[in-house]
Chain A
Amino acid sequence: MKTIQVSAVTEKIREAIQTINFVTPSNTLGRLKEAQMNEPSPAGRQALNDILENRAIAAEHRVPMCQDTGMALVFVEIGQEVHLAGGSLSEAISEGVRQGYREGYLRKSVVGEPLFDRRNTGDNTPPVIHYDLVLGDQLKLTIASKGFGAENMSRLKVLTPAQGIAEVKRQVVQCVIDAGPNACPPVVVGVGIGGTLEMAALLAKKAIMREMGQPHPDIRYAALEEELLTLVNATGVGPQGWGGRNTALEVRVEYFPTHIASLPLAINLDCHLHRHITITVE
């Protein structure tokens, strides 16, 4: 049994939420530079130039890359041998989000109730939190600032088994075409296949949380990811929808067993900012 103080979680999240809004990880930077090198469209290259220059300025001056600093999203993996002390973990996570958004001068973009009041909560809380119980004595956190230009263009469909792979491909390509410039391409496409309705959506989101440059371990799914990326980049949407061959940086697929009668499919888009980080709390 290992004891972790929840105040340590607050501290980690406060830092992480600022880091992901200011600093670009080297693998994402590398992928963007590769896109800039191979982009045939001059307007598309201009967009990628601006994206890269923007990231350099944000990191140097510790200012957010985008004024939409998103809604905070936290995936928590708790080892079964971890004992959490010092209060509520969910509250500790919220407090980290609150402090991070305040300290980093990040925009507060959350409304407390979605339909009637839509009043801003003023501190960007609450975050969306997902908990997973796993083996071991570690506490792992994946923290994201999810922009909603791309979130708004995402979709969920329950297909029939007969529609199969062909329809999955068609849906992914159509989703990216329909999103066009509004998802702020080049996007990262998360595809969740199988499970139940909500599991498919969660899988798509988890796919987005993967590190850049890590194909699916199952070679059939890795090949599907590659084929989907080729198809999405054949749409011509390009960076910012200005036309070009870099519409997506990666397409990532996650799957889960499903019912004999069903083929749930979720497609979640992430804008080019792709702000997330995975950390371990000791």
Chain B
Amino acid sequence: MNTDDLNNQQDPIRITTPLTNQVIAGLKAGDRVLLSGVVYTARDAAHKRLVETLLAGQELPLPLPSQVIYYAGPAPARPGQIIGPAGPTTSSRMDSLTLPLLEAGLKGMVGKGNRSQEIRQAIVKHRAVYLVAVGGAAALISQRVTKMELVAYEDLGTEAIYRLEVLELPLVVANDVYGGDLFEQGQAQYRDAEMLK
């Protein structure tokens, strides 16, 4: 992809879960996205259990095909709130546990920071997408959550799997089906190599 194409679109693209191949094909690294629909929270401990369940050939506690996982562990909610602050956590910690989920049909991942080469290749192969939210923008993100339900692994506390209904979650496409990478392309575009000599 030509870096000139990066980040140039004016309005964010509105997408809704479940994610189809057609929707995913329309997303390119650097595109701003407003995501609505359902996302499932899962971070370190939940990933470990999901992968163990898959490897044991047992049934998962959530549907994976065409779904989106959000790497997050919400802070406690105040009384009367739907959800406490729920910003993205660092996605690369989930890299070693992501392949089996993509193979099982997972289509979207939301987190912060870059992914390993292996996962970037798997995103292309499985026609999936990795989106990023702003790390630290937890209060903003929580406001876009309209419903929260426990799905599995209650004993994990903040690391349990929750089903979140979200309305216009502001995200940016980081890795697309064409091999585009927001971090590499974005940083290369704005690096002043002359200055750093």
- Which residues on A are within 8 Å of B, measured CB to CB? 40-44, 46-47, 50-51, 53-55, 57-58, 61, 63-69, 105-107, 147, 149, 173, 180-182, 184, 230-231, 234-238, 240-245, 271-273
Task: Give the complex CA separation of A231 and B194 in angstroms.
Answer: 10
Given A54-B139, A67-B73, is A182 in contact with B190 using a C-beta cutoff of 8 Å? no
Q: Which residue of A lies closest to B185 (CB)?
A: A243
Stretch from B18-26, B85-93, B101-109, B145-153 forming part of the interface with A: B85-93
- The 8 Å CB contact of B136, one of A43, A61, A105, A271, is A271
Q: Does B186 contact A (CB under 8 A)?
A: yes
**B189/A41 in contact, CB under 8 A:** yes
**B190/A66 in contact, CB under 8 A:** no
CB contacts (< 8 Å) of A235 on chain B: these are 187, 191, 196
Task: Give the complex CA separation of A106 and B73 in angstroms.
Answer: 13
Which 4 pairs from chain A and chain B are nearest by CB?
Answer: A243-B186, A236-B191, A236-B190, A234-B192
The winner among A42, A47, A64, A67 for most chain B CB atoms within 10 A is A67
Number of residue pairs across A and B with beta carbons under 8 Å? Answer: 161
**A237/B139 in contact, CB under 8 A:** no
- The 8 Å CB contact of B134, one of A58, A240, A245, is A240
CB contacts (< 8 Å) of A242 on chain B: these are 30, 132, 172, 182-183, 186
Q: How far is the CB of A29 from chain B (nearest CB, A)?
A: 14
**B186/A238 in contact, CB under 8 A:** yes
Given A46-B172, A234-B196, A243-B187, is A64 in contact with B139 using a C-beta cutoff of 8 Å? yes
Task: Give the complex CA separation of A53 and B158 in angstroms.
Answer: 25
CB contacts (< 8 Å) of A54 on chain B: these are 134, 136-141
Stretch from B53-61, B75-83, B116-124 forming part of the interface with A: B75-83
Q: Which residue of B lies closest to A42 (CB)?
A: B7
Task: Give the complex CA separation of A237 and B73 in angstroms.
Answer: 26
**B90/A46 in contact, CB under 8 A:** no
**B191/A65 in contact, CB under 8 A:** no
CB contacts (< 8 Å) of B92 on chain A: these are 182
Q: How far is the CB of A227 from chain B (nearest CB, A)?
A: 10
CB contacts (< 8 Å) of B75 on chain A: these are 64, 67, 69, 105-107
- The 8 Å CB contact of B139, one of A63, A68, A106, A184, is A63
CB contacts (< 8 Å) of B183 on chain A: these are 180-181, 241-243
**A64/B187 in contact, CB under 8 A:** no
- The 8 Å CB contact of A58, one of B6, B139, B186, is B139
Q: How far is the CB of A115 from chain B (nearest CB, A)?
A: 18
Q: Which residue of A lies closest to B194 (CB)?
A: A234
Q: Does B112 contact A (CB under 8 A)?
A: yes
